[in-house]
Structure 1
Amino acid sequence: MKKIPVTAVFDIGKTNKKFFLFDENLKEVHNTYTRMDAVPDEDGFPSEPVLPLREWMLETFTEALKSEKFEIKKLNFSGHGASFVHTDEVGEPVTPLYDYLKPFPEDLLKKFYTENGGKMAFCQQTSSPPLAMLNSGLQIYFLKHAKPEFFKNVRHCLHLPQFLSLIFTGEMVSDYTSIGCHTGLWDFEKMGYHEWVKREGIEPLLPPILPGDALLTTKPELGSIPCGIGVHDSSGALLPYLKQEKEPFALLSTGTWAISINPFNKTALSESELTKDCLQFLSISGQPIKISRLFIGEEHKYQVEEMYAFWQLPLGTYKKLKFDQTLYEKVSEKDTKRIGFKYLKPQDYGLERADASDWASFPEFTEAYYTFLHELTDIQVASLRLVLDGALVKKLYVDGGFNANLIFLEMLRKKLPGLEIIPSDFPNGSALGAAMLVNMES
């Protein structure tokens, strides 16, 4: 029986570690996944279990190579951002993979910004909101100054997707999509590493940069197969849309975070935009892409749980609601805001805020939920405008969890009448994007 030629992709998220096989039409034909418990770093804070992850990946891939049904022709990787693996000369990790939620020492952070012209000036130059450990380049600064006993053993610093590629190829490289992901490493004005990277002697630790569609080769014992250099997961998820769509568009990728991405917006960031969690990514070829972020998934979860508790309703109640024009008009006529947000800050976008949600002031759940979504979409529209203004598009794709929320989508249509809003989904979009990268026609 003739084997089916496939592209293999490891998609490594913080929660799920997945392995996919895609056929020649890039249709998924196989997947498997695992979850791994975090391991404490030297301070007792959870960190990514890098060595067990490497073991699982090698076992999974070796098993797939033996398949009687599939023949692996290409391999690539997608991984979560804000993560560095620090290795010795031969690529063995010499520190934990620090979690981006780990606290950053305040005095050290203050020292860093003082050395680099002040917080907001630095953030503008690097298109990175001030996010402490989430600015992954600062993790190297933290290591050098707070953990010198570890830092002295570091010879290479690899972003997670490129460390995954190293496991299979033995080659150390960097890529634009990880460097450009709010790392604080890249000077978007000069389009090169920021001066601090050179001044601190960190640049020699960063491997050479290759374009995102570059191909290496797996080690002989792993088949000598063409292998990609890995891609930052958010950038990977954008690629299927770029391939499908011929006209300029924007993407609202929703989940825990709503990420507004306009691949056609190259405008520089203002200080005001940075304070609203607006930043720039780098594309696979090193071009800037404007994005903004909003913590709407977690906000929605919190507020809905509060409403369910107040009205003693079963889980999933909101999913049964349909869009009602009359009710929408009723809640949008209210002059004062009525929802007290837990995570979002309407005032950052020039919007009025309520101190707390008084559920007793609503006659029933549906009106309360409509009011919440009305005020939530006001903030979402403000966040979207940060990437839409300056590079108008006619289409907005919405993928992820909120693409099935008909009320959310319809409210966006009412508030953005010039845009065609299209619910869409490429299942496992970041893995599919990684597969596309190694199958691009040269």
Structure 2
Amino acid sequence: MESHIHNVAVVDIGKTNAKVVVYDLDRQCEVAAQTTPNRVSNDGAYPHFDTDGLWDFVLTSLAELSRDHPVDAISVTTHGASITLVEGDDLALPVMDYEFPLDPRTLADYRAIRPDFAESQSPALPGGLNVGAQLFYLERHFPQEFAASGILTYPQFWAWKLCGVEACEVTQLGAHTDLWCPSERRFSSLVDGQGWGEKFAPLRSAFDRLGDLKSEIRAAMPGQDPIPVFCGIHDSNASLLPHLVGRQGAFTVVSTGTWAIVFAVGGRAMELDETRDTLANVDAFARPVPSARFMAGREFAAMAGDAPGEADHASAEAVIAKGIMALPSFARGTGPFAEREGEWTVDPEDLSQAERTAAASLATALTTSVCLELVGAEGPIIVEGPFGRNAVYCDALAELSGRSVEAKTGLSGTSAGAALLARGQNAPPPSGAAVPAAAEASARPPIRGLAAYADTWRRRVAERGQAEMPEPSRGASG
């Protein structure tokens, strides 16, 4: 345990935005942050992330933030579905944007060799959302560069940039990549079959201290003591980690942002359905966790429009009374309704902004409730990230599930988990900082008519080209 570590600089590369956050482990809060958009460049053979721009942002942020908040350690967390090929001290090829639609021939050939769901617990996903498909594409189209390169998982690429030590890590390998067998804690048959195994950097624990910050980066920051760099973790698993070490029994974490990832810890045994975007993620201790996902942030933005504002109960009840519904999926190809095309029961341009935001909040809560059922989730629900600030979403989710919902409303739930890596696997759990949404909402009455509205929403979704809905838990009031 790194007992002297208090302030951890977390490099957090999200799909939409990148952040550098200084997280105080003693006070369990973010004390400073800088953020920038995560831009995609289209000036090459395929769309790719602007890693040079991100690196400049990381270096500048570390130097500036450390002037007022001394940094004792650095940790890294990133979005999933990305991987890096490196040669020497740089990238061998740009880091592909996972939304790039691979050419049909390559994708079909890849689907013919990818592991069965029973082995990988990873569903077949569009574009490059299965990292194995990205590697297959790059090997086929850039054989010379691929042959000469080594492979680093994405958080560990940034850790390598910071400290010079190469590594791979299981939370990233276990995030629907097709590269990992969660039940046996090994690389999948795809890796063996393609002869990729020797290309991967050594497997390290997310908690491992890889090395010290490079001297040229350290020189731009106050002080002279070495700054350790920790291995790093997949972002949704970072949100999960504080609860894994601080709770007992069954519980559910909903990590929100561009994606909502539902982690069911200790829930009912369920057979996962690859056609509904359920999967096994792998936690920081290398254990499989039943999970479901959909692009909640993308869906919400498409439904709510450019200026969503705050959702409130009055607007939600007005939407329910008028039967106004947004039906999934506005981000097709992922989630429990991947094949449905999003639609409204009315023209959304005729709605007030408050009504549109409320309808979007209800629809997102309803899709989340379906995800809960698909993975057998039980126990209290913890909502991490931006949707924790949406009272209609949290209250509706509590009523629909019949369970308490706790909102974690900090800048990012990922920061706390990534920072916690610096305390080691055997560190004492953080004291609870979750704010129970149900307690906050105790002065507010239930959302009137929600149960009947939910039944109608589910029926309409089921009637229009989607697989049968799971039976809902009965907790909503009518």
TM > 0.5 fold call: yes
For residue 145 of structure 1, the aligned residue among 119, 124, 140 is 140
Aligned to 2:90: 92
Residue 413, structure 1, aligned to residue 398, structure 2: yes
Q: 2:275 maps to what in 1? A: 275
Moved more, 159-168 or 365-374: 365-374
Q: Deviation at 1:4?
A: 10
1:52-201 matched pairs, under 5 angstroms: 52-61=53-62, 67=67, 70-88=69-87, 90-116=88-114, 122-131=116-125, 132-154=127-149, 156-201=150-195
Deviations along 1:208-237, one digit per CA (max 9) or x if unpaired, are 111111112215623533220111111112
Across the aligned residues of Structure 1 and Structure 2, the Cα RMSD in angstroms comes to 3.7
Q: Which digits, 9 at most, give the CA deviation of each residue in 1:373-415, with x for residues without a partner?
A: 656544332211112x2xx532112233333333333333332
Instruction: Name 2:19's counterpart in structure 1.
Output: 18
| Pairwise CA distance, 1:173 | 0.8
Alpha-carbon offset, residue 127 of structure 1? 1.6
2:409 equivalent in structure 1: 425
- SS of the aligned residue for 1:17 comes to strand
| Residue 30 of structure 1, CA deviation | 2.6
CA distance in 1, matches of 2:380, 2:234: 24
Residue 342 to residue 357, structure 1, CA distance change in 2 (3 Å):
farther
Deviations 1:320-367 (A, max 9, x none): 443777x68856xx7xx96554527899679x999752349x999888
Pairwise mapping of residues 360-371 of structure 1 onto structure 2 (< 5 A)?
none
Q: Distance in 1 between matches of 2:296 and 2:39?
A: 26
> For residues 217-232 of structure 1, what are the structure 2 equivalents within 5 Å?
217-219=211-213, 221=215, 222=218, 224-232=226-234
Unpaired runs of 5+ residues, structure 1, are: 309-314
Contact 1:124 1:274 (C-alpha < 8 Å) held by counterparts: no
The equivalent of 1:439 in structure 2 is 423
> C-alpha deviations, 1:84-128, integer Å up to 9, x for none?
12111x332111111101121221222222234xxxx62332122
CA 1:186/1:402 → structure 2, altered by over 3 Å: closer, same or farther? same
- Asked if the contact 2:315–2:355 (Cα under 8 Å) also holds between the matched residues in 1, the reply is no
Structure 1 residue runs of 4 or more that deviate by more than 6 Å after TM superposition: 344-347, 352-355, 362-372
**2 CA distance for matches of 1:219 and 1:255?**
29
Pair 1:369–1:60, CA change in 2 (3 A)? closer
Q: How many aligned residue pairs are there?
A: 412
Secondary structure of 1:410's aligned partner = helix
**Identity across matched positions, percent:** 22
One-letter amino acid of the counterpart of residue 294, structure 2 = L
- Partner residue of 1:401? 386
1:400-439 alpha-carbon deviations (Å, 9 max, x no partner): 333333333333333222x122233243221221111112
Cα separation, 1, equivalents of 2:14 and 2:343: 35
Point out where structure 2 has 5 or more consecutive residues left out of the alignment: 219-224, 428-478
The structure that has the greater radius of gyration is 1
2:261 matched to which residue of 1?
259
Paired amino acid for 1:19: V
